[in-house]
Amino acid sequence: MDNTLIEARGLSRHYDVSNGFFGGTATVKALSNASFTLQAGRTLAVVGESGCGKSTLARVVTMIEKPSSGELTLDGHHIRSDEPLTDAQQAELRASVQIVFQDPFGSLNPRQTIGRILEEPVLINRPDVTKAQREQQAREMLAMVGLRPEHYDRYPHMFSGGQRQRIAVARALMLEPRILVLDEPVSALDLSIQSQILNLLVELQERLNLAYLFISHDLSVVRHMADDVMVMYLGRVVEKGAASEVFDAPRHPYTRALLSATPVADPTREQTRIRLEGELPSPLNPPAGCAFNPRCWKAEERCRQSAPELDEQEAHPVACYFPL
Amino acid sequence: MPLLDVRNLSVDFKTANGQFRAVDGVDVQVDVGDVLAIVGESGSGKSVSMLALMGLLPWTATITSDSMMFDGVDLSRADDRTRRSIIGKDVAMIFQEPMSSLNPCFTVGFQLREALKAHLPLSRRERQKRAIELLEQVGLPEPERRLRAFPHQLSGGMCQRVMIAMAIACKPKLLIADEPTTALDVTIQAQILELLLDLQKDTGMALVLITHDMGVVAETAQRVSVQYAGQKVEEQGVNDLFANPHHPYTDALLAALPERATTKHLPSIPGVVPGQFDRPAGCLFSPRCQFADDHCRQVKPGNAPAELGHARCHYPLIKGVPQREAS
């Protein structure tokens, strides 16, 4: 049996933004030409700095946004930009892809009890499930994510950040999805709580054979969680491969710089930091050629003229003319 | 004599449900040229203790201390005029959110010159010249143009550079950086930390870095003070702290770092930080501590000697082993 749950080919999402009254419109290429696959029981991490398109990717994969172009196959269903899905198909697909957001304080409705929050996805998507069954499912789910049964009748404000994130994970799992998109799931949490949630995610993945699309900017968390890593810069995938290869032998200069900029909790380690000049260019006006060329120390004339492509055939592809 | 010597600082907040002690008997000593990191999770009182020093807490806060000596002046007893002449000049602070710390209604140049005007006897032209110098010093390209920019026209990293320029405008002896890079991307974080350390080396000022990121601590600090639930639980040099933590909380915190993990399952600290109503009677960490016994749960621990990192623990750890005979 083929275990592939997500297959994306040339996925793009562009936004038209108005440029003032006389300016006409400009196009922001929030996500360009991303291709990847994700199998059941595996974790694909997407890393990059703010504005690199990782959250846009999450929104496209969870069908909050439609792709502008490219093909996306989710759990056997094809989604194409030119052929919209019927509502029934969408509803069915939504049950198999769920998302956990970054901020557990903003993502739970403060006026609903935990029980109600957990039951709502079932209420909407599975109208034939009885009330008693729903409640039972919700209570089982509470136990699964490590909360106590008496939490069923409480409100979100009575919980700490870590517990809220458990509730958010529980809600995402209520429809028994096969794919879970985790958009910075631990970056709002304290270190001692972060490890509890990461452990929970690892346990759930083993038990339910979930596929995780793990979006994070924290490379030490990614290194711990991911099987495969995809590095993005300004809407493009610049490097992807197995986590161990990307971390131990990065090929793209940006990946290398990102890794060296990440502080390591070991004061005795020799610091060999690559100093990146400048900041992320505006996505409204990206540089010609390779998007990274103004900050890259290896950039040559060729980099400024044409953008390198990622060779999908390789095991550890990189979008760079002069890979390391 | 240390540059900053705060003894037994406590801060209580009036809340709707009674008094809440956010900082509980904290001592802070900073020498000239020192880089001290204060680490702790949210609610550990790490920011509040420094805000108390700066006099930036709201009226609901009650600050008590034995003394708050800065450079020979006791800030807790000094009159307002003396305080104002020191705060912002000799002690400066930068904050976590660079975007919201700057006033959106005024240009960067106006805000930068305002800091100079308040403390230094410079003419208008000298202030402008100094403002340009400062922006050059913090590595902003095209300083003349940037001075005319409003904060929303700059990126987060640039705003933080402006904040740093403002803080170092009067050549402070002590710079307090409260989570200066938490809102920034890693490559920008690396630039800002490097800038702070360079400035610290060039000017010889002392730097207090408040952070929750153990990686940042390891790469920047000389000395580390660990806070938990408003108390200082341990203080050590950075290498010793990472190699041989003496307080069980520090030990557990370091073990929970994903990069130190050897298995897929991370060692984690059960439970949460105690809140206003469930503060334990004995050691504050005892409900979450793997070594705690009845003695810990009933009796508040004192501080261990300096060679055990002043650990606020009955049984400080040596190489991960609690020293039960010692007490």
**Given A196, A223, A279, which is nearest B258 (Cβ)?**
A223
Report the phi/psi class of residue B18: left, alpha or beta, with left for phi > 0 and alpha for psi in -120 to 50.
left
Separation between Cα atoms, residue A170 and residue A318, nearest integer Å: 36
pLDDT band at B327 (very low <50, low <70, confident <90, very high): very low
The string of pLDDT tens digits covering residues A198-207 is 999 999 999 9
The string of pLDDT tens digits covering residues B136-153 is 989 888 899 999 999 999
Those residues with Cβ within 8 angstroms of residue A74's Cβ, 6 or more apart along the chain or in another chain: A5, A6, A61, A63, A93, A96, A97, A179
What are the residue boundaries of the structural domains of chain A, listed by start?
4-305
Does the beta carbon of B266 lie under 8 angstroms from any beta carbon of chain A? Answer: yes
Classify the C-alpha dihedral B119-B123-B125-B129 as positive or negative. negative
Residue B11, helix vs strand vs coil: strand
The residues that bridge with B236 in the sheet, in sequence order, are B224
Classify the C-alpha dihedral B224-B303-B301-B51 as positive or negative. negative
Residue A125, helix vs strand vs coil: helix
CB contact under 8 A, A198 and B266: yes
Closest CA to B172 of B4, B39, B27, B6: B4
Does the beta carbon of B238 lie under 8 angstroms from any beta carbon of chain A? Answer: yes
Those residues with Cβ within 8 angstroms of residue A135's Cβ, 6 or more apart along the chain or in another chain: A115, A119, A152
Q: Which residue has the tokens 């140049």?
A: B109
Query: How close B174 comes to chain A (CA, Å)?
Result: 23
The string of pLDDT tens digits covering residues A214-240 is 999 889 999 999 999 999 999 999 999
pLDDT band at B277 (very low <50, low <70, confident <90, very high): confident
Q: Which residues of A touch B189 (CB under 8 A)?
A: 261, 263
The string of pLDDT tens digits covering residues A157-189 is 988 888 999 999 999 999 999 999 999 998 888
Q: Which helix (H) or strand (E) holds B9?
A: strand B4-15
Residue A157, helix vs strand vs coil: helix
Encode burial over B100-133: b for 16+ CB neighbours within 10 A, e otherwise.
ebbeeeebbbebbbebbeebeeeeeeebbebbbe
**Given A199, A223, A263, which is nearest B216 (Cβ)?**
A263
- pLDDT for residue A1 is more than 80: no
Does the beta carbon of A125 lie under 8 angstroms from any beta carbon of chain B? Answer: no
Average of per-residue pLDDT across A21-25: 72
CB contact under 8 A, B158 and A279: yes
CB atoms within 10 A of CB A265: 20
Separation between Cα atoms, residue B230 and residue B45, nearest integer Å: 5
Query: How close A138 comes to chain B (CA, Å)?
Result: 23
Q: Which residues of A touch B180 (CB under 8 A)?
A: none
Under a CB-based contact definition with an 8 Å cutoff, are residues B157 and B97 in contact?
A: no
Classify the C-alpha dihedral A153-A156-A162-A166 as positive or negative. positive
CB contact under 8 A, B218 and A220: no
Average of per-residue pLDDT across B241-253: 93
DSSP state of B150: -
Does the beta carbon of A148 lie under 8 angstroms from any beta carbon of chain B? Answer: no
Q: Which residues of B touch A261 (CB under 8 A)?
A: 186-187, 189-190
Separation between Cα atoms, residue B210 and residue B39, nearest integer Å: 6
Mutant choice from B96, B187, B249, B260 vs A, greatest count of A C-beta within 10 A? B187
- pLDDT for residue A49 is more than 80: yes
pLDDT band at B325 (very low <50, low <70, confident <90, very high): low
**In sequence order, what DSSP letters do the residues of A203-257 get, joined into one string?**
HHHHHHT-EEEEEES-HHHHHHH-SEEEEEETTEEEEEEEHHHHHHS--SHHHHH
Query: How close A311 comes to chain B (CA, Å)?
Result: 26
Separation between Cα atoms, residue A247 and residue A264, nearest integer Å: 13
Structure tokens at A286: 């990206």
Mutant choice from B185, B239, B269 vs A, greatest count of A C-beta within 10 A? B185
Backbone angles phi, psi at A62, to 5 degrees: -90, 5
DSSP state of B300: -
Q: What pLDDT, on the 0 to 100 scale, is given for residue A2?
A: 67
Does the beta carbon of A264 lie under 8 angstroms from any beta carbon of chain B? Answer: yes
The CA angle B215-A107-A182, to the nearest 5 degrees, is: 55
CB contact under 8 A, B213 and A263: yes
This prediction has a pTM of 0.89
Query: How close B242 comes to chain A (CA, Å)?
Result: 7
The string of pLDDT tens digits covering residues B220-230 is 999 999 999 99
Q: Which residues of B touch A244 (CB under 8 A)?
A: none
Average of per-residue pLDDT across A249-261: 92
The CA angle B268-B269-B273, to the nearest 5 degrees, is: 145
Q: Using CB atoms and an 8 Å cut-off, which of residues 189-208 of chain A contact chain B?
A: 190-196, 198-199, 202
Classify the C-alpha dihedral A19-A22-A23-A27 as positive or negative. positive
The whole-chain average pLDDT of chain A stands at 89
Average of per-residue pLDDT across A80-89: 76
CB contact under 8 A, A275 and B252: no
Mutant choice from A147, A191, A218, A227 vs B, greatest count of B C-beta within 10 A? A191
Structure tokens at B64: 């008590």
**Given B188, B216, B256, which is nearest A195 (Cβ)?**
B256
Q: Which residues of A touch B267 (CB under 8 A)?
A: 195
3-state helix, strand, coil in chain A (%, to 5): 35, 25, 40
CB contact under 8 A, B187 and A258: yes
CB contact under 8 A, B266 and A199: yes
The string of pLDDT tens digits covering residues A94-107 is 888 999 988 888 89
Residue percentage of chain B with pLDDT more than 90: 69
Average of per-residue pLDDT across B11-27: 90
Q: What pLDDT, on the 0 to 100 scale, is given for residue A311?
A: 85
Residue of chain A whose alpha carbon sits nearest to that of B261: A224
Separation between Cα atoms, residue A234 and residue A29, nearest integer Å: 8
- pLDDT for residue B177 is more than 90: yes
Q: What pLDDT, on the 0 to 100 scale, is given for residue B246?
A: 94
Q: Which residue has the tokens 């700095």?
A: A49
Does the beta carbon of B99 lie under 8 angstroms from any beta carbon of chain A? Answer: no
Question: Under CATH, to which class is A4-305 assigned?
Answer: alpha beta
Q: What pLDDT, on the 0 to 100 scale, is given for residue B1?
A: 79
ipTM: 0.85
CB atoms within 10 A of CB B14: 13
Separation between Cα atoms, residue A181 and residue A175, nearest integer Å: 14
Q: What pLDDT, on the 0 to 100 scale, is given for residue B36?
A: 96
Which stretches within B102-152 are classed as H helix? 108-119, 124-137, 143-147
